[in-house]
Structure 1
Amino acid sequence: MREHLELRSAAEIARIREASLVVHDVLAEVAAAAVPGVTTGELDRLAARATAARGATPAFLGYHGYPAVICISVNDEVVHGIPSDRRALVEGDVVGLDFGVSLGGWFGDAARTVPVGRVSPAAARLLQVGAEALRRGVAAAVPDARLGDVGFAVQQYVEGEGCSVVRDFVGHGIGRKLHEPPQVPNYGAPGTGLRLRPGMVLAIEPMVNAGGFEVRTLDDGWTAVTADGSLSAHFEHTVAITEDGPVVLSEPPKRG
């Protein structure tokens, strides 16, 4: 049975952009507050306040039982880290911030990984690789390309930089629901998979490990960590496929 894929109108994409820009703004506030000494629980409460101030609803809170507003994953934590008042950030940490909202019945989702104070050269390089992997994945999401082209663009670059791409978690469609078809792997072969069509809206989200790609889930049932204890970075945008190419909805349009 084939998955039903929604193709969104320009007006619907504009609504998804509104939600995604709330995500961008809240992430910017939380990222700026991710300094040595702050707890991840404090960052979660900041995200809740910033979301409410913008008239949006957190997408993750209660989703399949997730207990927080934002996912905060530190160092070897790949994704789905649960904020806690017992976890204070320290100089040199890298912190993945994954966040989504609902606004007027439409969803937006994005992630970024940020340094806490001064980080090691290896950590700084990992963040650069993760951000560039996302840029390349987005650039490959053009009409008539295939999902395998997007995954290949990410995987080829990341592995060429001596890092690895997580296999256990993938991107997804987004719109009226937080997670919609199709799945969007960050690995693959060119020319394979679903053909991309204008009107699709995808959450493209590479998760890049400094070591191997294997992960395991902690006893809390949520937090995924690298199996080898290496650092991990997570970057994500909500992206519309248009006749003119991919459009990132989760950052303000560039002027000029």
Structure 2
Amino acid sequence: MIHLKSEEDLVQYRKVGKIAAEILTRCIPEVRAGVSTFEIAKLVEKWIVEDYDAIPSSIGQYDFKFALNSSVNNVICHGVPSKDEILKDGDIINLDVTVKKFGFIADTSRMYLVGNCSEEAINLCKVTQECLYKGIEQVRVGNTLGDVGFHIHRHATRNNYSIVKEFCGHGIGKKMHEEPQVLHYGKKRKGLKLKPGMTFTIEPMVNQGAAAIKEMSDGWTIVTKDGKLSAQYEHTLALTEKGVEILTLRDEEKTNYQK
């Protein structure tokens, strides 16, 4: 069942999305060589709880213990922060943050470049963010989830990258995972029709090499099977009669993103 949100709901939801966006922006100077992913996670937890009086909603979900997932280099998603994982020059990392307040959850992620990254790594991150935007551009009343997935997948493959198909975006609201599932591939005009009141994430995972994945022995962390780089960007979206609204839009994006 899809839980449509009212305008009253969105008044509160926008506030939660703004918090999540600000958290990712505040992380920018903290993501640097010599810092552990554990340190970053504990700092984010402190910000969410103390500065925003909110809940880091990933803590406790599936027994997860941290306020974010930190996925470095060939980690596709679900990277677990660790004191032993020290960032180094040339790394790329995705930080995936969820924040709960006013009864609603906002979910968003961003790539960070550590020091001097290769042109290949920089381009992968750039194209992945473009894939997210290509999907967002298709979020309008009357379009389908197939339209969203088609344009994401086409942009990735046109740039000689692959899309991970085992993981997808999802409806979101008072629960982290609601209906519908939002695939990052599909066919035009196929699938669920989009309607006002829907809130969901788009979060394409784009691989430098093959799309094949591998689950690590912890039963949680997902990496590329060929060991090549992977990148991801994510936003929480709301669809209204006026069009798509990016609830987790960061200030850094406002001059670049075009609906």
TM-score by length of 2: 0.95
Can you list the C-alpha shifts for 1:77-127, whole angstroms capped at 9, x where unaligned? Answer: 010000001010000000011110110211100011110011000000001
Amino acid paired to 1:6 = H
Q: Distance in 2 between matches of 1:164 and 1:244?
A: 33
Q: Distance in 1 between matches of 2:224 and 2:155?
A: 20
Q: Distance in 1 between matches of 2:96 and 2:211?
A: 19
Q: Distance in 1 between matches of 2:189 and 2:83?
A: 47
Q: Distance in 2 between matches of 1:238 and 1:161?
A: 25
Partner of 1:29: 26
Q: Distance in 2 between matches of 1:18 and 1:219?
A: 38
Partner of 1:134: 132
Partner of 1:6: 3
Write out aligned runs for 1:1-256 (5 A): 4-52=1-49, 53-251=51-249, 254=254
Query: Which runs of at least 4 in structure 1 moved beyond 6 Å after TM superposition?
Result: none
Amino acid paired to 2:82 = S
Offset at residue 214 of structure 1 (A): 1.1
Alpha carbons of 1:252 and 1:119: their partners in 2 closer, same or farther (altered >3 Å)? closer
Can you list the C-alpha shifts for 1:194-216, whole angstroms capped at 9, x where unaligned? Answer: 00001101111111111111111
Can you list the C-alpha shifts for 1:1-34, whole angstroms capped at 9, x where unaligned? Answer: xxx1111111211222211111111111223211
Alpha carbons of 1:252 and 1:81: their partners in 2 closer, same or farther (altered >3 Å)? closer
Offset at residue 248 of structure 1 (A): 0.5
SS at match of 1:126: helix
Can you list the C-alpha shifts for 1:154-188, whole angstroms capped at 9, x where unaligned? Answer: 00010000001110100001111111100001011
Amino acid paired to 1:251 = L
SS at match of 1:46: helix
Amino acid paired to 1:95 = I
Amino acid paired to 1:21 = K
Offset at residue 252 of structure 1 (A): 5.1
Can you list the C-alpha shifts for 1:33-64, whole angstroms capped at 9, x where unaligned? Answer: 11000000000111111101111100111101
Offset at residue 236 of structure 1 (A): 0.4
Q: Distance in 1 between matches of 2:250 and 2:110?
A: 15
Q: Distance in 2 between matches of 1:200 and 1:106?
A: 13
Can you list the C-alpha shifts for 1:211-234, whole angstroms capped at 9, x where unaligned? Answer: 111111111111100011110001
Q: Distance in 2 between matches of 1:151 and 1:59?
A: 27
Asked whether the 8 Å contact 2:22–2:250 carries over to 1, the reply is: no
Provide structure 1 residue ranges, at least 5 long, that are not aligned to the other structure: none
Provide structure 2 residue ranges, at least 5 long, that are not aligned to the other structure: none
Count of residue pairs the alignment pairs up:
252
Asked whether the 8 Å contact 2:45–2:66 carries over to 1, the reply is: no
Amino acid paired to 2:43 = L
Question: Sequence identity, in percent?
Answer: 37
